Structure 1
């Protein structure tokens, strides 16, 4: 079979077949009387073998070894090809992500594109200072994909850079909230914590709705951050979690401050006072927790809190009795 027929049947160009011949990879078995290359069926079969191995990513040199070296074993080469392919896929995926993020910003011109690329590179820098400057500049007029900010915020370990990223996200409005909500579902506790910390700093209704949902999150740390933030926003749903925090002694001072802020609203005063008193009288609450609950009553206005404090002046726990007496003295003097 002449070279043109082989090229048509195999899909390999005549030029490539001549290249194979020059490399000694596949030489036609014969020649016609006119000197043209003439391929046998075995030659054509070898061409198909070559193309099959090339489609796996083998170089022509590796193909030659695979076909001609009797001692050649494919396992090591295949493992290497798998590694190279994974590296290539990773690189291509990163490129695709970068392009998609640039496209999402809808750059007006190449200057915007170059600026976005520079910011993305800075966010991925090993230098904390560069990452922080990138976060701060992204909050200005510089275009920046919110997705990149969220990814950086969820993975940042430096506290200063993390603060700058949360500030930038807060300035971006609710664009990143859906991605931050996904972060709350991460299997990594640190990522969940960074997600809720970022949501807390976004002061809008959608963020508040996410925080309400987070109160019942399986991760208790997420629920506590949500409760403290909701307390400052005057949301009554946070009260039970805040009281639990006082009892458990976890950020209990902040929780008591949040309860105090909520109790300044007349509609919530009695609810909060009753909640604290109910837990104080519960037999399973340990003495240290009862003391913290007593202290929390100090800044809760109203008659329910005052009557409870009066009763506590006679408590068997001397520390509680003295604390209640002191608090009542201050309240009566006001």
Structure 2
């Protein structure tokens, strides 16, 4: 089979086939009397092998090694190809995100484009100080979707705080852009989304936070419960009690339960939920006793009186102090 027909059948240009020949990758089996290359069926199979390996991203040098070295192990090379492909996709995704951010900002001219690019560089800077400074840029110059993306991935707590403050100024738009982070598989992203919503007031953010009370990760549902507790939302009570039991932000959780118990309709359920946890081990019972001391005295008088005779001296002391002074030692 002559080179022209091989090129048509294999989808490889005649120029590339000659290049394969010069590299020793695919040498035609024979030549015609006139000196033209002729390819046998085995040559065509080798061409397909070369093209298959090239489709995985292998260089021609790597393809030759793979085909000629009987001891060649593909695992390491494939792993390296995966890493390089992931890096390339990440760079291309960053470029796509940057282009979308520029497009969303509807710049009037190239100075506007350059300004947005400068902001993007600032938010992606390896310097936490520069990221924080960029976050504090006037709100009308940073696209909300760019801010939201930065909020969801920012690891530095100080920078994250500045970003949340900046996003909060966007109001409803900030909630819309941050909402996808609530469904992320990464609990760190979900936590960042919850913390961002906690900085935005209004019924919409409250509803979104309420939906996170059932999150599988304590690091997510805890901040949601604290934010809702500060807003006086009764739905946060079970999660706040769980935080006291776990010893996670238990002091703030107890204070919020005390505030929520100021509502006569909530005082009884909160008391019952805490008393039910007195069956736990000693550290849990101590934290529960401290939480009970935060509730209004008329609500807890009976239970505190009973706990003053508790077998655990610390629990008894907390109950006695709260019963006599209206607050607990911390």
> TM-score, normalization: structure 1?
0.71
Is 1:271 the counterpart of 2:266? The answer is yes
Q: CA separation in 1, counterparts of 2:237 and 2:85?
A: 52
Which residue number corresponds to residue 180 of structure 2?
179
Is contact 1:180–1:198 with CA below 8 Å preserved after alignment? no
Shift of 1:319: 4.7
Cα displacement string for residues 139-183 of structure 1 (whole angstroms, at most 9, x for unaligned residues): 62234462x545543443322122123223333421233222113
More deviation in 3-12 or 159-168?
3-12
Q: CA separation in 1, counterparts of 2:325 and 2:22?
A: 100
Which residues in structure 2 correspond to 1:72-111 (within 5 Å)?
72-73=69-70, 75-76=72-73, 79-80=76-77, 83-100=80-97, 102-103=99-100, 105-109=103-107, 110-111=110-111
SS of the residue 1:254 aligns to: helix
Q: Which has the larger Rg?
A: 1
Unaligned residue ranges in structure 2 (runs of 5+): 310-315
Is 1:242 the counterpart of 2:240? The answer is yes
Q: CA separation in 2, counterparts of 1:78 and 1:246?
A: 50
Is contact 1:3–1:39 with CA below 8 Å preserved after alignment? yes
Is 1:258 the counterpart of 2:251? The answer is no
SS of the residue 2:175 aligns to: coil
Which residue number corresponds to residue 131 of structure 2?
131
Q: CA separation in 2, counterparts of 1:22 and 1:246?
A: 75
Unaligned residue ranges in structure 1 (runs of 5+): 329-334
Is contact 1:3–1:37 with CA below 8 Å preserved after alignment? no
Shift of 1:252: 3.5
Which residue number corresponds to residue 298 of structure 2?
306
- The correspondence for 2:211, drawn from 207, 210, 213, is 213
Runs of 4+ in structure 1 deviating by more than 6 angstroms, as ranges, are none
Shift of 1:270: 4.5
Indicate the RMSD between aligned Cα atoms, in angstroms: 3.9
Q: CA separation in 2, counterparts of 1:49 and 1:205?
A: 66
